Amino acid sequence: MKMLTGGVLAALMTASLPFAASAQEFTPDQPECIAPAAAGGGWDFTCRQVARVMRETGLIDGSMRVQNLSGGGGGVAYAEVVNKRNDEDDLIVAASTATATRLAQGAFPGNTMDQVRWLGTIGADYGVIGVRPDSEYESLEDLMTALAEDPRQISIGGGSATGGWDHLKVLMTAQEAGIEDLRAIKYIAFAGGGEAISQLLAGSLQAYTGDLSEGMGFVESGDLRILAVLAPERLDGEFSEFPTAAEQGYDVVGANWRGFYAPGDMSDEAYDWWVSQLDTMYASDAWKEVMENNGLADLDMHGEEFAEFVAGSVSDIEQISRDIGLVQ
């Protein structure tokens, strides 16, 4: 099985260790979350949903500002935090397997994962490949067959940079389909998943690659048809109608963890506070409802456990990237 998980599936099978929060006096004056992409994508979803739930459950006083800072597949935001805002205690930044992918591929020039502090996860999001409702491609096999015949005639868009997480999911699926010239596949990078779907609807793309949480709004509005979910088996509830890639003969699993990092010089008091609040939020009924409504799988890690997990994710993805020729 082609595993695009960065260790996520193993973590999903393991009960996480509870974070033992100590009494902290810190509280943020002006909490802020940076979404490293345009509105409508997975990072934007992460910031805005967490900001809403933390406000509604009283975990923060007032509201949390959300800033969209797109560019470089998350690299612009990463550099901003490391170089200009590295000691801010009120700031958190949305991250995911896409972040680990760019770090694994050396795509953030001069930046490494140990320049920030890793706070925790808020769940895992399975990848999807979709098309317009009126597309000629009725199944994943239809799309892969067309790619095999002439990959240059099909444009596939996603919200990660070229070589990033969304691109990687398509390449691994195409590899499973027996397509040898993976570099011939036309992947177009957008500032976020929402922009990619907008271009799909406009006719500039023939297919979309992203994650279930960012695509569900478009599915519900009738603007996106899911060809495959990159999960090991069909999801529950309303998501059970979506076929997996595996059941269509393409043994690919793509689980995208979602979480946060913080500035590298954030104080220990602030770091412990954010870790504790995210852990408390994750256990709340309000967050369980968000996960259920958006198809997020359980993945609950915080503090040092999460930092070790990200290090493993970066290492795994670096090896996958070498295997398919994205990294020399």
Q: Average pLDDT, stretch 16-24?
A: 44
CATH superfamily, domain 2-125+256-323, is Bordetella uptake gene, domain 1 (3.40.190.150)
Q: Kindly state the average pLDDT of the residues 141-164.
A: 93
**Among 8-12, 37-41, 79-83, which is the least confidently predicted range?**
8-12
Instruction: Report the alpha-carbon distance of residue 164 to residue 101 in Å, rounded.
Output: 6
Rounded CA-CA distance 156/243 in Å is 19
- Digit-coded pLDDT (tens) for 49-77: 999 999 999 999 999 999 999 998 899 99
Give 253-306 pLDDT, tens digit per residue. 888 899 999 999 999 999 999 999 999 999 999 999 999 999 898 999 999 999
Q: Is it the case that residue 328 has pLDDT exceeding 60?
A: yes
Average pLDDT, stretch 226-238? 93
Digit-coded pLDDT (tens) for 71-117: 988 999 999 999 999 999 999 999 999 999 999 999 999 999 999 99
Q: Do domains 2-125+256-323 and 127-254 have the same CATH topology?
A: yes
Domain ranges of the chain: 2-125+256-323, 127-254
Q: What is the pLDDT of residue 81?
A: 98
Q: What is the mean pLDDT of residues 140-148?
A: 97
**Residue 1 pLDDT greater than 80, yes or no:** no
Torsion of CA 313, 188, 261, 103, to 10 degrees: 50
Q: 323 versus 125: which is more confidently predicted?
A: 125
Select, from the ranges 6-20, 124-138, 164-178, the one with the highest average predicted confidence (pLDDT): 124-138
Structure tokens at 47: 């910031």
Residue type, 232: P
Fold of 127-254: D-Maltodextrin-Binding Protein; domain 2 (3.40.190)
pLDDT of residue 319: 83
The mean pLDDT value of the chain amounts to 91
pLDDT at 322: 86
**Residue 166 phi/psi, 5° resolution?**
-65, -40
Produce one character per residue of 241-257: b if its CB has 16 or more CB atoms within 10 Å, e if not: ebebbbeeebbbbbbbb
- Can you give the pLDDT at residue 15? 40
Entry pTM: 0.79
The pLDDT > 70 percentage for the chain reads 93
pLDDT digits over 182-224, tens only? 889 999 999 888 899 999 999 999 999 999 988 999 999 999 9
Is-contact 207 200, C-beta < 8 A? yes
Looking at residue 10, what is its pLDDT?
57
Instruction: Tell me, letter by letter, the H, E, C secondary structure of 32-98.
Output: EEEECCCCCCHHHHHHHHHHHHHHHCCCCCCCCEEEECCCHHHHHHHHHHHHHCCCCCCEEEEEEHH
pLDDT of residue 5: 56
Q: What sign has the CA pseudo-torsion 263, 264, 266, 271?
A: positive
